[in-house]
Amino acid sequence: MMKMKILLLLLAFTAFASAAQIKDVRFDCNAKGCQVVFAFASSQNLPTFFQKYDAASKKLTVGFSETSFALGEGDFDVDANSKFVKSMRVFKDAYKGTAFLKIEMDVGASITSDKNEIALDKSNFLIKLKSKGGKSWTLSKLYADRKKSADKQAVLDKKAAEKQAILDKKAAQKAALEEKKRLAEEKKAAQKAALEEKKRQAEEKKAALKAAAEEKKRLAAEKKAAEKQAALDKKAAEKAALEEKKRLAEEKKAAEKAAKEQEKLFAEQQKQIDKAIKEGGAISALLPKLKEMTVLIGSGMEQFRIVADDAIDIRNVSSIDKNNTITIGLAGPQKSPVFRIGAGSLVKSVTWGANGLKVQLKNSIQPAVLVQDGAFVLQIAEKGIDKDGFMFWSAQPNGIFIRDWLKSADERQNFESFVKNLDKGSKKIISGSQTFHLRPVVRELIVVADETEFYAAPNENSQVMQRLVFGDRLVSIDMKGLYRKVQYGNKVGYVDRRAVGFFDELSSVQEERLKQVDKDRGTNLTTNTQQIGSQLDGLYEDRVTYSSFGRRDPFVEVDGLVEEGINIDQVELVGIIWESDVPVAILVESKNPSISYTVKEGDKILNGKVLKITQTDVLFLIQEFGVSRRYSMGLPDKLGGQK
């Protein structure tokens, strides 16, 4: 037993001897600079060290492994006005099984980093600071003076406490006598109150029994009245249901009759148009007596322009009337069809009237009006299209001309070709004349992420108007950095551009999933892949779309990697880094997986580029022999197959 005790003492002494101890902390400043000095009891077995600065709380924390502090743990005030060290908190904390002594210092403006120079001078560990002009101090000396003052104050406090205790004892004895007297008086009053309460409860019980009997009688009367009213309501509801059924039948009959009459009217009107075309040739794309009608939008302005056969005088142009109409005093037909204008936000329609050409504006529009070289011009500031260049359409007698200066030149269509390319809801033929509803070209976006936020502004800290899920349809408006400006229903907002894609950018897996989602929702949007409102896309890009369904294109010869870029037929997709501003795909060579490549959207590959990266697929655009095709590559599933 004695040997065991001696062995334990030796182990304890060895552990104590191997632990480091900080005797004191001091702060020295001289002409060369300032430094914080940690004075260790010995230069042997010095610990490991770290320092960390937190800019938010302005704290510099230093740590020493397996170390004790001679002054003990706790808070130490130094100098609240110091630009170096204001106060210190000493405590122990464990990290990965190792005990650390941490000294957390509130620091001033002269300490702003944890990249401070450190040095060792015998048993003194130094943190050297670049700033000068501090006041030197030693922590043990500061607290020795403060301890002396505290002890003196403690003696004075003790004497005062003893004196106060004697006074408190006398006061307590006096209060006890008064309390005893008060309790006796309260007991007597309580007995009297108890008798009165007993009498009051008896009276209340009697009144409650009487009220219960009256309430029972009232409830019986109400129940009888309710049953009578329910019978009357049921009878009235049955009568109303019969009348509603009769009304709906009459409305259905009237609607069917109106539909047949409308269908008959349209057939008769189309017949008249066909006859007019056969007898008089192609119908003009403009109202009579007009040479040109143009809408121009871009670079901060929107303009509407009319050129007539006869010269226009500014004196013959009226002000905007209560119907938002401007009348141009020109000689023309007394009556004409209405030319409706859907493009832009200025003009709603144009028609000839008895007093001249009438231009009806959209609500709350106050444009500048001018006549330039005999042409009538309206103009307002436009902020909806935030990019350089212009987009316009121009109606002329021989056709409609549409142009976007941000894209390649468009071929001019004749009137018949233009009408064929419009969707059915955009053209109406009325009484041998025509009404056109020209709309800007829009492309439909599809949500390809499982879920994504619909923001009010182009940043993730803005208000989330709602959450979108895979398969939701959006209208693309503009691009704002990492976000797309889109319209969803009647709301306009922003979505992460990585979470959406156009229909022709979907992989085969996403197309199949989209079909299933549409089927579950009871819609049939993916049956016809033609994009809503994108009939004019053919003017800008002549391409052939080919889906490889995740396999190598059998019509392309297999070549090795060349200087022009990566041959996608000889690589495999092994990973996608999605949690970043710019998604990155990781490709490896099929025959040599040790060789890998990272690509992002827009990177060049052999005969093409990376078109789109989603969470599960990469879409490539390949151009060979003047033909464009799309090739999709999906991530493998757990069994090695394609997802």
Contact 544, 629 (CB under 8 A): yes
Assigned CATH class of 444-539: mainly beta
Contact 349, 304 (CB under 8 A): no
pLDDT along the chain (643 residues), means of 10: 44 52 92 90 88 93 92 90 92 88 93 90 90 88 80 88 92 93 93 93 93 93 91 89 88 80 66 58 68 80 87 87 89 80 80 89 85 83 60 69 53 49 38 35 79 92 92 86 87 90 81 89 59 32 37 42 70 84 87 86 88 89 78 71 54
Q: How far apart (Å, rounded) are the C-alpha atoms in residues 422 and 285?
A: 14
Question: What are all long-range contacts of 566-572, with beta carbons under 8 Å and residues at least 24 apart?
Answer: 566/597, 566/599, 566/605, 566/606, 567/605, 567/606, 568/605, 568/606, 568/620, 568/622, 568/631, 568/633, 571/597, 572/633, 572/636
Strands (E), 147-232: none
pLDDT of residue 637: 64
State the DSSP code for 426. G
Contact 19, 99 (CB under 8 A): no
Query: Phi then psi for 600, rounded to 5 degrees?
Result: -130, 170
Q: How far apart (Å, rounded) are the C-alpha atoms in residues 487 and 454?
A: 10
What is the β-pairing status of strands 451-455 and 464-469?
A: antiparallel
Q: Where are the domains of the chain?
A: 19-135, 145-281, 290-436, 444-539, 543-643
Question: Hey, what's the torsion of the CAs at 52, 54, 59, 64, to 10 degrees?
Answer: -20
Find how far residue 167's CA is from the centre of its chain: 70
Query: Which is it for the CA torsion 591, 593, 597, 603, positive or negative?
Result: positive
Residues forming beta bridges with residue 34, ordered by sequence position: 29, 129
Measured CA distances, 572 to 292, 508, 598, 613 (Å): 56, 17, 12, 14
79, two tokens: 């100098």
Q: Which residue has the tokens 């309501």?
A: 233
Measured at the alpha carbon of residue 319, what is the angle toward residues 314 and 320, in degrees to the nearest 5?
A: 135
In CATH, the number for domain 19-135 is: 2.60.40
pLDDT of residue 642: 59
DSSP 369-421: EEEETTEEEEEEE--SS-SSS-EEEEEETTEEEEEETTSPPPPPPPHHHHHHH
Query: Phi then psi for 597, rounded to 5 degrees?
Result: -140, 150
pLDDT of residue 626: 67
- The pTM of the full predicted model, rounded to 2 decimals, is 0.28
CB-CB neighbours of 360 under 10 Å: 18
Over its C-alpha atoms, the chain yields an Rg (Å, rounded) of 44
Query: Phi then psi for 501, rounded to 5 degrees?
Result: -160, 160
441, two tokens: 């070209």
CB-CB neighbours of 276 under 10 Å: 14
Q: Which residues contact 583 (CB under 8 A, 6 or more apart)?
A: 498, 576, 577, 600, 601, 613, 614
State the DSSP code for 523. -
Q: How far apart (Å, rounded) are the C-alpha atoms in residues 421 and 399?
A: 13
CATH topology assigned to domain 543-643: SH3 type barrels. (2.30.30)
DSSP 68-121: EETT-SEEEE--TT-SSEEEEEEEEEEETTEEEEEEEEEE-TT---S--EEEEE
Residue 122 half-sphere exposure, CB side, CA atoms within 13 Å?
3
Query: Which is it for the CA torsion 372, 374, 375, 378, positive or negative?
Result: positive
The residue type at 255: A
Q: How far apart (Å, rounded) are the C-alpha atoms in residues 351 and 399?
A: 18
Same fold, 19-135 and 444-539: no
Q: What is the three-class DSSP state of 506?
A: coil
Q: How far apart (Å, rounded) are the C-alpha atoms in residues 543 and 537?
A: 10
Q: What is the three-class DSSP state of 4?
A: helix
Sequence-ordered alpha helix ranges (H) in 281-301: none
Contact 123, 43 (CB under 8 A): yes
Q: How far apart (Å, rounded) are the C-alpha atoms in residues 531 and 537?
A: 9
47, two tokens: 């610990």
User: In the chain, what are the helix, strand and coil shares in percent, each to the nearest 5?
Assistant: 30, 35, 35
